[in-house]
Structure 1
Amino acid sequence: MSCLTARTGRQRQRYDGHLRLVSGCIPYKFEKIAGGCSGNIEQKLLVLMISSPNRDDLVFPKGGWEDDETMREAACREALEEAGVKGVLDDNPLGVWEFRSKSKQNSCSLQGGCKGFMFAMEVTEELDSWPEQANYGRKWLTIEEAFRFCRYDWMREALGKLLTTLSKSRENNTRNELEELPLRTISEIGLEHPMSSSPVRFANHSSIQQLAA
C-alpha cells in the first residue's frame, strides 16, 4: 500500500459564495502504435478516468481546493491521491464549470454546489499504489470511449477543450509525435459514439485498475 496519505476534512476548503471551489485535471498520454501496413509509428491519445465510490460511472480526478495551496497544486494533489499519477500540468485551466456534488444531485438546496477548474495533465509517472487506491480504480480510455462514459455535459465539454488544446499544440509544435497524432473533430466522435443510456458497470475495483493495453 502507498505510504502517502490523502487529505481529509474541509477545514481549509475554499468557497466562492455558496459554491465549493474544486480543482482537478484530465490526465492523458500518447501511446505508440504501429500504423497499419506501412509499419510507421503513430500516436494514440489515451485519457485516464477513475471509478468513484458506490457509483458505476467514471469521472476525472478532482477535489476541494484548499487555502494553503494554489489551484494547480490542488489539481496535482488530487491526481496523485485519487488516480496515482504525476505529470506536467498546463499553466491555465481548460475552463471552469459549475456542477453539484455526487451526494447532492437531487437536492434543491444551495448545499452541494461546486465551481470546478479543470486542467490538462500529460502523465509522466504512474504509481503502483496511491493514497485512495481502495476507493478509486483507474482505467485508460480512448477519447471516443471517454466521451461515451462521461455522465455529465460539463465533463464532455472539458474533454472537448482538451482536444482543442492538443490540436493547437500540434499546429504550433514541430515534434513528430504531435504532427502524427490522428485527432478528429468532436462532431465526428459524437456522431459515431453517442453517450450510452445505461450505466457503466465493473465487477470490482481490481478489474478497473488494470490499465488498458
Structure 2
Amino acid sequence: MNDHDPQTAKLGSDKPRTQFGALCWRPVDHGVEILLVTSRDTGRWVIPKGWPIKDLGPDGSAAREAWEEAGVTGTLTDAPLGAFSYDKGIGPQRVPMPCVVMVYGLRVDQVADRFPERKQRRREWFSPTAAAERVAEPELQALLAGFTGA
C-alpha cells in the first residue's frame, strides 16, 4: 500500500535501505506491555515496520505501518527511540537486502478488531523482556528489553 517498491531496488546491494517502524506500547499496572506482530512471510515476531510512504514522513510512515499491520493508533514520539538492522528476504529466492529500521514509540490509544492485515498476521502483547526474547534482531532485543515507556 506504500509508494516504495522494494522489488525494484537493486537486489544483492550492500547499501542498506531505510524502513520505519513503531514500537507500540501501553501502560499497565506493572509497567508497560509491547505489541508484536508476526511477519507475513516467516511468521516470526516483529514490530510493525515498512518502507517510507510518500507524503507521510518517517513518523507518519511508522504510524501507518502500526495501523496496517497491527490495527493500532495512538501518540507517536517526536524522535526515533533507536534503530536496528536486519536482512529482508526479497523475491522468491529470498535475496537478502540490508535494511535499517528507525523506530518510533507509539503509545497505543485504540486497538481495532478490523484492520488491513488482520488475516495475514497475529498480534500479541508482551512484557518488554518477553518481547525481547521473541524477536531475532539483537539491536531490537536491546531496545525492547530496556523499554519503560516513552
Q: What is the TM-score of this pair, normalised by structure 2?
A: 0.82
Bigger CA radius of gyration: 1
Pairs aligned (count): 144
Which of 117, 127, 130 in structure 1 is aligned with 2:102?
117
- Taking the TM superposition and a 5 Å limit, the aligned residue runs for 1:161-200 are 162-163=147-148, 166=149
Runs in 1 of length 4+ with deviation above 3 angstroms? none
Q: Return the offset for 1:131.
A: 0.4
Letter in 2 for 1:21: T
SS of 2:86's equivalent?
Answer: strand
Partner of 1:72: 59
Which of 23, 33, 48 in structure 2 is aligned with 1:46?
33
Alpha-carbon distance change, 49 to 102 in structure 1, aligned in 2, over 3 angstroms = farther
Higher relative contact order (CA 8 A, sep 6+): 2
Q: Is the 8 A contact 1:20 1:115 kept in 2?
A: yes
Give deviations 1:110-151, integer Å, cap 9, x for gaps.
Answer: x61112100111100000110011111100111221121111
Partner of 1:155: 140
Measured in 1, the distance between the counterparts of 2:55 and 2:146 equals: 28
- Taking the TM superposition and a 5 Å limit, the aligned residue runs for 1:1-213 are 7-8=1-2, 10-11=4-5, 18-32=15-29, 43-103=30-90, 112-160=97-145, 162-163=147-148, 166=149
Q: Return the offset for 1:69.
A: 1.8
Question: Whose strand fraction is larger, Structure 1's or Structure 2's?
Answer: 2
Alpha-carbon distance change, 144 to 158 in structure 1, aligned in 2, over 3 angstroms = closer
Q: Is the 8 A contact 1:12 1:66 kept in 2?
A: no
Q: Is the 8 A contact 1:118 1:158 kept in 2?
A: no
Q: Is the 8 A contact 2:21 2:47 kept in 1?
A: yes
Give deviations 1:39-68, integer Å, cap 9, x for gaps.
Answer: xxxx43111000112424211000001332
Q: Return the offset for 1:161.
A: 5.3
The gaps in structure 2 that reach 5 residues or longer are: none
Alpha-carbon distance change, 156 to 11 in structure 1, aligned in 2, over 3 angstroms = closer
Give deviations 1:7-34, integer Å, cap 9, x for gaps.
Answer: 1563599x9x9322200111111123xx
Q: Is the 8 A contact 2:67 2:115 kept in 1?
A: yes
Q: Return the offset for 1:70.
A: 0.8
Measured in 2, the distance between the counterparts of 1:148 and 1:49 equals: 11
SS of 1:71's equivalent?
Answer: helix
Measured in 1, the distance between the counterparts of 2:63 and 2:112 equals: 14
Identity %: 24
Give deviations 1:141-184, integer Å, cap 9, x for gaps.
Answer: 11221121111102112214533xx3xx6xxxxxxxxxxxxxxx
Question: Whose helix fraction is larger, Structure 1's or Structure 2's?
Answer: 1
